[in-house]
Structure 1
Amino acid sequence: MSGLTLTIQAERWREHLATTFARAAVVPVVKGNGYGFGRERLAAEAERLGADVLAVGTASEVGSVREAISGDVVVLTPWRADDLDAVALATDPKVITTVSREVDLAALSAGGERAPRVLLELRTSMRRYGMELAEAGSAVGRLDARDAAAGQPGVVLEGWTIHLPLLERGRLEEARRLSRAAVALRRAPIWISHVTPEEATTLAAELGVDVRLRLGTSLWLGDPGALRTTATVIDVHRVARGERIGYRQRRVSRDGWVLVLAGGTAHGVGLEAPSAASTLRSRAISAATGGLEAAGRALSPYTVAGRKRWFLEPPHMQSSMVLLPGEEHAPSVGDAVPVQLRLTTAVVDHVAEA
C-alpha cells in the first residue's frame, strides 16, 4: 500500500485494550481524528469490548459512530444554543449532553416531547469549562423547582462530569473534593478524566456511586509497541552539493540522495502540539530546535538507514523531501520507511492489521 500506513499488531493491541478496559468502569473516547485510527474503527472496537457508552468530542462527531455501537454516546464539548448539531441531538435517546452553565441547563429543561439526558460539568483547576459549586447548587435547585412545578423532569441527570489536569500532584485530592461536593448536591454517578483506573475504583468505593472513567490516549495508544507507522518512498534522485531543489530552491549542503516520501501537512507530518517547556532542559531544547528551524533546518520524522533525516524544505501537502547524504545505499521507489507520527494529530492513508 502506498502512502502513510499505520500497522497494528492486532492480537497484542486488543489484549492491551481488554486489560485496560477491565480495570475500571471505562468510557472509551473516540474524538477528533480517532487517535490516528479513525473514529469509526475505534467505535467498532469499543463495541467489541462491550462498552455501553462511548464519548466523542463534539455533536458533529456523533453521526460517525452511532451506527457502530449499540450503546449511548456522550458529547464532551458542552452544549451551546448556537450549535445546531448539539440542539438537534439533545433529545436523542442515545445521546448524553454535557452542560457547563446554568443558563444552558435552563434552556434544555424548558420542556419538550423528550427530556434531554445531561451531565453537569464542574469547573476544575483546568479552568476550561464547568460550573463553580455555588452555580451547580443553584442549577440543581432550579431543576428541583422546575420538576416539582411541571410534575415531570425537564432533564434526566445522568451524573456529574469532572475534567482534571494531567499533573499527578494534587489530582486525586481535587477529584475527591469535587466528587464529594457534587454527590452532596445530588447523588449521581461521577464521570471523570485523567485519574488512573485504580484511583477511579477507589473513588467509587469511597463515594458509594458509580465512577465512569473516560479513557482515550492511554486506552488506544497505551501500548506503542503494538503500533508501527511507515511511509512509502515515492521517488529517489541523486543530488550534488550546491544544487538547488524544491519550491524554495535552497542549495543542498552535501552530495547524496533526495528522497521524496509519502506524508505531508495533510497527514500531520511536520505538525506538532506546542510543548509545555516546563523544565529548563525542555526550554533549552525548544530554543535550539526553534533556532534550527529559523535557519531552514528541521529534522524530519522519517528514519532512513537507521537515522532520522533532515527535511530539505518544509513538508508539502502530501509528500516530503529529505536528504540522504553521502554514498549511503538509497531505498528504492515503493519501499516503506519508518516515520514517527503523533497519532493524536495524524491522518494516515491506510490502517492495516498484522
Structure 2
Amino acid sequence: MSYRPTKATINLAAIKRNVENFREHGNGAEVIAVVKANGYGHGMLPVAEAALEAGAVMLAVGTPDEAVELRRQGVQADVLVLGATTADFIPYAQQENIIVTAISFDWIEQAQASFDAALPPLRVHLKVDTGMRRIGVHESEAVRAARLLEQSELTFVGIYTHFATADELESELFNEQVRRIKEVIGEFANSGLFVHVSNSAAALQHPELACDAVRVGIAMYGIPPSRDVQDLLPFPLYPALSLETAIVHVKRVAAGESISYGATYTAEQDEWIAALPIGYADGMLRGLQGQEVIVQGRRVPVIGRICMDQCLIRLPYEMKVGESVQLIGVQGEERIFIDEWAERLGTIPYEVPCILTQRVPRVYSESAVTENYSFQHRDAMIR
C-alpha cells in the first residue's frame, strides 16, 4: 500500500491488444515479447504474463539476471537472453531451459567448455551483426559460426539480427542489413532454424521481413518507435502506461515572488500555485520544467525547478488539495503521451518509462482500450 497519490497505472488490456494486433497483421509470424528493463519500466512479470496470454510464443530479456527472475517467478515459457552471457551461466541456462545468444567464436568455445552433458540441452540462437556493430558475429563469418555450433554439443535452434535504422523512412544501412541477413539465412533454408530479424519498427514498416517471428518491444507498450513510424502505423497502438498524482498543497504567491531552487521562475502577477508529490527521484527529471500536466481537464505548466520529491504547477484559479493531476495519459478531452516528455527531455520515448523509478508504485488494470488514448493507424488518420 502507498500513502502517496503518485502512481503509474499499467493497462494490461492495452498490452494484450497490441500483441494481438501484431499477430493478426504479422503475415503469420509469431510474436516474441521483449520484457527487458523491467518490461520497459512497466513491470516485467505482469507484462510477460499478459503478452503470453495474448499469444506471444517467447519472451526476450536483455540480461541473464532478468531470465533468472522470470524463472524464479514461475514463468515457464521460452525465454531468450538477447545480451551477452558468461560461461558460469551456461549450466543454469541448461537446468532452467533458458535460450542464450551466441555472440562470438570465443563465446561458442567458452559455452562448449562450460556445457554439462548431464544436464538438459543448451538451446542457442546465433546473433549476426549485419551493421549494428554491437554484439554478434560479423555477417561475413556467420555461416562459419553456425557450422561450428552445429558441430558442437550445443543445440543450435535459431538465428537473428538487429536493425540499427529500421525506425527511419529511408535508410541505406537498413537496406544493406536486410540484404546481408537474407544472404546468411539463405544458407540455412529448410534447416528448421527459428529466424527472427524484425524489431518493432521493422515489424510495423516491413511486414514482408517477418520470418518466423518478430521481436516486439516498445510497440507492445503502445509507444511508436519514432515519429516517422508513428505517421505510418498499419494498425493502432494503445499506450499501456498512465502517470498520475494529486495536489497536496495550494497557495497564493504575489507578483514578483520567485519559487523553488535557484529562483528560476518569478510570478509576473498574483498567481495560484500547487505542489505535487513527485520529483526527479521518481523519474520526473529537472528537464521537465515547463512541461504541462492536466488538472480539471485543462493543461497547466510545471513551474520552477523540479525538486527531488516535489514539483510545482501554476493554476488558473484556486483549487482544492486532493485534485487529481494527470502527468501522462488522459483526463477529460486532454491527452499527454510519453513522446511529449521525450521531446521535452531531448531523448527518445523508450527512455521515459525506463526512468520512472521503483518509488512510483505500478498499479495494474484491465481497462477497455479507447481510441482517445491511442496512436491511430494511417487509414484512420487519412479519414
Q: Is the 8 A contact 1:238 1:257 kept in 2?
A: yes
The 1-side partners of 2:49 and 2:95 are apart by 21
Q: Which residue in the other structure is 1:311 paired with? A: 303
The 2-side partners of 1:88 and 1:318 are apart by 44
The 2-side partners of 1:217 and 1:112 are apart by 36
Indicate which of 55, 60, 68 corresponds to 1:63. 68
CA displacement, residues 156-192 of structure 1 (integer Å, 9 cap, x when unaligned): 1121121102324353663353133134168322122
Q: Which residue in the other structure is 1:6 paired with? A: 8
Paired letter, 1:317: M
CA displacement, residues 198-224 of structure 1 (integer Å, 9 cap, x when unaligned): 8455553xxxxxx22100111221534
Q: Is the 8 A contact 1:231 1:261 kept in 2?
A: yes
1:133 aligns with 2:139: yes
Paired letter, 1:134: S
The 2-side partners of 1:109 and 1:164 are apart by 28
User: What is the 5 A alignment of 1:1-354?
Assistant: 2-7=4-9, 11=13, 14-22=16-24, 23=26, 24-66=29-71, 67-81=73-87, 86-87=89-90, 89-110=92-113, 111-113=115-117, 114=119, 115-144=121-150, 147=151, 153-165=152-164, 166=166, 167-169=168-170, 170=172, 171=174, 174-184=177-187, 187=191, 188-194=193-199, 195-196=202-203, 199-200=206-207, 204=211, 211-222=212-223, 223-224=237-238, 228-250=242-264, 252-254=266-268, 255-270=270-285, 298-304=289-295, 306-313=298-305, 315-324=306-315, 328-340=316-328, 341=338, 342-347=352-357, 348-353=360-365, 354=367
The 2-side partners of 1:13 and 1:154 are apart by 38
How has the CA–CA distance of structure 1 residues 14 and 189 changed in structure 2, closer, same or farther, with 3 Å as cutoff? closer
TM-score (norm 1): 0.75
TM-score (norm 2): 0.70
- Residue 40 of structure 1: CA displacement? 1.3
Deviates more, 1:111-120 or 1:178-187: 178-187
Q: Is the 8 A contact 2:63 2:81 kept in 1?
A: yes
SS of residue matched to 1:92? helix
The 2-side partners of 1:334 and 1:189 are apart by 53
Q: Is the 8 A contact 2:18 2:219 kept in 1?
A: no
- Residue 235 of structure 1: CA displacement? 1.7
- Residue 11 of structure 1: CA displacement? 5.0
Q: Is the 8 A contact 2:247 2:324 kept in 1?
A: yes
Larger Rg: 1
Gapped runs of 5+ residues in structure 1?
Answer: 148-152, 205-210, 272-292
Q: Is the 8 A contact 1:242 1:251 kept in 2?
A: no
How has the CA–CA distance of structure 1 residues 160 and 128 changed in structure 2, closer, same or farther, with 3 Å as cutoff? same
How has the CA–CA distance of structure 1 residues 234 and 14 changed in structure 2, closer, same or farther, with 3 Å as cutoff? same
Figure out how many residues of one structure are paired with residues of the other and give that number.
Answer: 310
Across the aligned residues of Structure 1 and Structure 2, the Cα RMSD in angstroms comes to 3.0
Q: Is the 8 A contact 2:221 2:240 kept in 1?
A: no
SS of residue matched to 2:145? helix
- Percent identity between the aligned chains? 25
Q: Which residue in the other structure is 2:343 paired with? A: none
The 1-side partners of 2:64 and 2:109 are apart by 19
SS of residue matched to 2:126? strand
